[in-house]
């Protein structure tokens, strides 16, 4: 699971917010699990209420962005969920689409 809190453009949530070598390693490990016949999931929890889609932040970490695409191609499930937030709680509320680059039209 990766917590995501970066929003730079419109309603697009992005991960990572810096070079994330350890997170790239996790993607390779997830892909290896799929190769062994296991289910593997990369879950992004977008902990803000003003985002309705997700993309890997390729300009901050192109290695991670490419790794996420490779992992997905290898069979790693990529799930993105937005949260509702109140002073007393944070609750996972809705699934969000991914693979939307900041310069692409929303689908």
Task: Let me know if residue 107 belongs to a domain.
Answer: no
First-to-final CA distance of the chain: 25
CATH number of the structural domain spanning residue 89: 3.40.1350.60
Structural domain of 10: 2-95
Output the tens digit of pLDDT for each of the chain's 107 residues. 999 999 998 999 999 999 999 999 999 999 999 999 999 999 999 999 999 999 999 999 999 999 999 999 999 999 999 999 999 999 999 999 997 544 433 33
pTM for this predicted structure: 0.88
**13 and 53 in contact (C-beta within 8 Å)?**
yes
Task: Let me know if residue 104 belongs to a domain.
Answer: no
> How many domains in the chain?
1
């Amino acid at each position: 699971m990766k917590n995501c809190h970066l929003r730079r453009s419109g309603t697009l949530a992005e991960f990572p917010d810096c070079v994330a070598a350890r997170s790239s390693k996790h993607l390779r490990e997830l892909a290896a699990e799929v190769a062994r016949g296991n289910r593997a999931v990369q879950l992004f929890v977008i902990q803000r209420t003003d985002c309705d889609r997700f993309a890997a932040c390729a300009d901050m970490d192109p290695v991670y962005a490419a790794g996420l695409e490779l992992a997905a191609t290898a069979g790693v499930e990529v799930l993105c969920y937005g949260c509702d937030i109140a002073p007393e709680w944070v609750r996972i509320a809705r699934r969000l689409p991914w693979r939307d680059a900041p310069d692409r039209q929303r689908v």
